[in-house]
Amino acid sequence: MVEIFGFGAGTVQVGDDGAVERVVHPDGRQVLLEDDGGVHDTLHAWGKGFMVTDRGSHRFDHPPSVRWRQTGIDLLYQPGELELRVGRRFGAQWTETYEVRNPTAEPVEIGSLAISTPYRDIYRSSRESLTGAVHAHVWTGGADAWVWAVPMDGSGPGLGLQLKEGELWAYSVESREAGTGSNIRGHLYLHVTDHARAPHAMGGQAPITLAPGASYRWTWQLSWYADLPAFHADRRPLIDADRLAARTGQTIQLTGAGPTEVTSDEPGVVHVDATDGHRTARIAVLFHEPLEEIVGRRVRFILDKQRRPELADSRRFAFVPYDNDSGLTVLSGAWGDWSDARERIGMAILLQEVRDRGWGDRAELDEALAGYERFVREHLVDADGTVQDDSIHQGRVRLYNFPWFARFLLGQGDRAAATRILERYYELGGAHFLAFDLGPLLSELGLRDRLVEHARTFLEYGDELPPHEVNYEQSMVAPLLELLVAAYRIAPDQIDGGELNRRLGWLTAFAADQPDVRLRHVPIRHWDGYWFGRLRLWGDVFPHYWSALSAVVYAAWPRELVDPAAASWLDAATDAILRANLVNFATDGTATCAFVYPSCVNGQPAYVADPLANDQDWALVYALRLGLD
């Protein structure tokens, strides 16, 4: 038996086992994963899940008792010795109540309790993503927990889930491995607690102890909302803050039931709780030192630790990944994302930014950059402008690399070499590719025709962008908009500002405004820990340094194209993204390339900073360029 219930302007389909099989958006798109490339199956359907207790661990799937009602369904599961009752009701709103009860004569400790919510956060192509998928923005801050699922094109309505009763303290991810790759986010599970697997996650969480005959109950409610502000207008959070990052010693103002302000003289993340006497909620804020101090320590560490002085040739001047656990630099072998080129050039460009500001020891910086330039010319950049993938893999071309090395050589004063690299980029098909920093670089080099032609090519693509290393992602949309903005500035008669605004929603949809410094305005990226880290963990990385690409676009956005409120939002989002990324730099100069945010990924405990310092220094480059204090 399958039933379809009306849910506002959409519908919900419930299968014969009582689980939600399909949610149809008012515009007809699917909100949940279905049979998407063999990734999804009924075992991960909405409402199924698992629990870990001191009396055994159990998944629950087919309920022994199902009772259909005119407006919904009631279910009874029996995971081990416990009972789990679920009630689903549909109409203008969709309400779900879960109650787990201990019918035994002994107390039971629940260490993890999770419900599957398989949002259709998947990238088949840019067009299918923009017209048929959603970004799921999750916040598990106790009593204030919520999820905002927004169409990837940024249009409304979005689906808002808010907790009405009980607390949610974590979310985890399943179905992420090499077989699923980077084009699907995986199955998201919402947790009442995940203490048994990751007690430290999201600021720490406790198990739930049920006395004989006792129960724990939580309720969430879902509705369609025109946009994120409309969703928040329907919520009453226990705690919030005027901002989520500040310099050490400064004060962050709080609202709600908890303290009225928070400050710290020590850098780092601070979790702040609030309670109404029955339920507790939490936010996470960051206090950081001045950017010049953070950068200074980081540069010192790079110069001391992230080169290979043991080598005899100019490769000893290259900047490479560093394992904070072992204290060793990393040998890449065939793994390109650990190589001595590619994104690692961000360390050299950071040194240039520092040198050009007159910070640090000028002689030492000049020597390091001259050595790196020698390495680049001897091992990476050919006479015709071709950029090799790294010093080992000659003959393999990756278009992303070209503007980075053009930028470096321009910074070293070689304008001709920078121009030659970009011309070679276009000879190799770059006009159909979205590399980073391309618009500003073309402008600086006076390659006006290249810039306008490239922008017009991508306007003609519309929403069917060529796939890159991922079929669709934030670091395609941000470079697209960076390119279009640069072209609009030099040729507003040829680039329609309305076309820019239409695409801005594609970028803003990648992020929401959760009250955690790692999340607010930070775009979703969920594969970088695997490709760039040592732990090889898939799953959401918050923040990731390429989130700064969104900040670059927001800072450069032509203010004449938006109203004052939108301009204020762009300023706030820029600042939030840049400061969020400072969390990845420690006071001893070490850094992490990926903080994997979920409590667990495929059962592996996460909410962890990867021990590899790799390519995260781009975040500092952009913070300096955009004038963060």
Average pLDDT, consecutive stretches of 10 residues, N- to C-terminus, the chain (629 residues): 94 97 96 84 96 97 96 97 98 98 98 98 96 97 98 97 98 92 95 98 97 98 98 97 96 94 98 96 98 98 98 98 98 92 98 97 98 98 97 92 98 98 98 97 97 97 96 97 98 95 97 98 96 96 97 98 96 98 98 98 97 98 96
Question: Which homologous superfamily does the CATH classification assign to the domain defined by 3-235?
Answer: Glycoside hydrolase, family 65, N-terminal domain (2.70.98.40)
Residue with tokens 């952009």: 622
Q: What is the DSSP letter of 336?
A: G
SS3 content of the chain, % helix, strand, coil (to 5): 30, 25, 40
Half-sphere exposure at residue 410, Cβ-oriented, CA atoms within 13 angstroms: 20
Strands (E), 140-259: 146-151, 158-165, 170-174, 187-193, 208-210, 215-225, 239-241, 245-247, 251-256
pLDDT at 231: 98
> Rounded CA gap, 513 and 243, in Å?
11
Spell 234-250 as b/e; 16+ CB within 10 A means b. Answer: eeebbbbbebbbbebee
Report DSSP letters for 127-172, one per residue.
HHHHHH-EEEEEE--BTT-EEEEEETT-PSPEEEEEEEES-B-EEE
Phi first, then psi: give them for residue 220, nearest 5 degrees: -125, 155
Strands (E), 32-93: 49-53, 56-60, 65-69, 72-77, 83-89
Which tokens belong to 574? 């820029």
Identity of the residue numbered 361: D
What is the residue extent of each domain of the chain? 3-235, 245-288, 510-629
Three-state DSSP at 439 gives: helix
pLDDT at 177: 86
In angstroms, the Cα distances linking 130 to 54, 134, 360, 510 are 44, 8, 46, 11
Spell 447-458 as b/e; 16+ CB within 10 A means b. Answer: beebbbebbeeb
Across the chain, which distance is largest between two alpha carbons, in Å?
81
Report whether 72 contacts 5 (CB < 8 A).
Answer: yes
Half-sphere exposure at residue 19, Cβ-oriented, CA atoms within 13 angstroms: 23
Name 407's Cβ contacts closer than 8 Å, sequence gap at least 6.
Answer: 349, 418, 437, 441
Short-list 339, 372, 361, 375, CA closest to 531:
339
> Rounded CA gap, 258 and 246, in Å?
19
